[in-house]
Structure 1
Amino acid sequence: MNRESVLSTIRERKTPWDMVFIGGGATGVGGALDAAARGYEVLLLEQHDFGKGTSSRSTKLVHGGVRYLQQGNIPLVMEALKERGILLQNAPHLVNDLAFVVPNYSWWEAPFYGIGMKVYDLLAGKYKFGHSKHLSVEETLERIPNLKTEGLRGGVLYHDGQFDDARLLLSLVRTAAAQGASLLNYCKATSLVKDAQGFLTGLEAEDQETGELFAIDAKVIANCTGPFSDAVRRKDDPNCEMMIRPSTGVHLVFDKSFLAGETAIMVPHTTDGRVLFAIPWHDHVLVGTTDQSIETPTLEPKATAEEIDFILENAQQYLSRDPQKEDILSIFCGIRPLVGKGKDSTSKISRDHTITISQSGLVSIAGGKWTTYRNMAADLVDHLETLADFDNRPCPTAKLKLDGAPEKKDPSSAFSSYGTHAPALQDLIDSKPEYAQPLHADLPYLQGEVIWGARHDYARSVEDILARRLRALFLHARAASESAPKVAQLLAEELNQDKTWQTNQVESFQTLAKQYLPF
Structure 2
Amino acid sequence: QAGVRYCSNQPPRTDALAVVAGLRPLAAPTGNSNKTTENSRRHMVSVSDSKLLTATGGKLTTFRRMCQDALDKAVKIGCLHQKESRSATQDIYSAIPTSDRSNHMYIYGADQEMINALDQENPEWNEKLIPHLEFKKAEVVWAARNELARTVEDVLSRRVRMLFLDAKAAIEAAPNVAKILAQELEKDEDWQNDQITHFQNVAKNYILK
TM-score, normalised to structure 1, is: 0.37
**Secondary structure of 2:206's match?**
coil
Partner deviation per Cα, 1:301-359 (whole Å, 9 max, x = no partner): xxxxxxxxxxx1x212111232343432111111111235443658xx65321112234
Q: Closer, same or farther in 2 for the Cα pair 1:412/1:443, shift >3 Å?
A: closer
8 Å CA contact 1:409–1:416 kept in 2: the answer is no
d(CA) in 2 for partners of 1:495, 1:344: 44
Aligned to 1:374: 64
Structure 1 position 429, deviation (Å): 2.9
Aligned to 2:55: 365
Q: Closer, same or farther in 2 for the Cα pair 1:340/1:323, shift >3 Å?
A: farther
Aligned to 1:335: 23
Structure 1 position 475, deviation (Å): 0.5
1:473 equivalenced with 2:163 (yes/no)? yes
Structure 1 position 386, deviation (Å): 4.9
Gaps of 5+ in 1: 1-311
d(CA) in 2 for partners of 1:408, 1:330: 28
Percent sequence identity over aligned pairs: 36
Partner deviation per Cα, 1:238-290 (whole Å, 9 max, x = no partner): xxxxxxxxxxxxxxxxxxxxxxxxxxxxxxxxxxxxxxxxxxxxxxxxxxxxx
Structural mapping, 1:34-433, within 5 Å:
312=1, 314-341=2-29, 342-343=34-35, 345=37, 350-387=40-77, 389-433=79-123
**Secondary structure of 1:330's match?**
coil
8 Å CA contact 2:104–2:134 kept in 1: the answer is no
d(CA) in 1 for partners of 2:81, 2:16: 53
Aligned to 1:455: 145
Gaps of 5+ in 2: none
2:184 to 479, 487, 494: 494
2:3 maps to a residue whose letter is A
d(CA) in 1 for partners of 2:106, 2:23: 29
d(CA) in 1 for partners of 2:101, 2:51: 46
Q: Closer, same or farther in 2 for the Cα pair 1:414/1:431, shift >3 Å?
A: farther
Structure 1 position 389, deviation (Å): 3.1
**CA RMSD between the two structures:** 2.4
**Secondary structure of 2:22's match?**
strand
TM-score, normalised to structure 2, is: 0.85
**Secondary structure of 1:415's match?**
helix
Count of residues in correspondence between the two structures: 205
1:376 maps to a residue whose letter is M
Indicate the structure with greater strand content: 1
d(CA) in 2 for partners of 1:387, 1:501: 50
Structure 1 position 456, deviation (Å): 1.9
Indicate the structure with greater helix content: 2
Structure 1 position 412, deviation (Å): 4.0
Partner deviation per Cα, 1:202-235 (whole Å, 9 max, x = no partner): xxxxxxxxxxxxxxxxxxxxxxxxxxxxxxxxxx
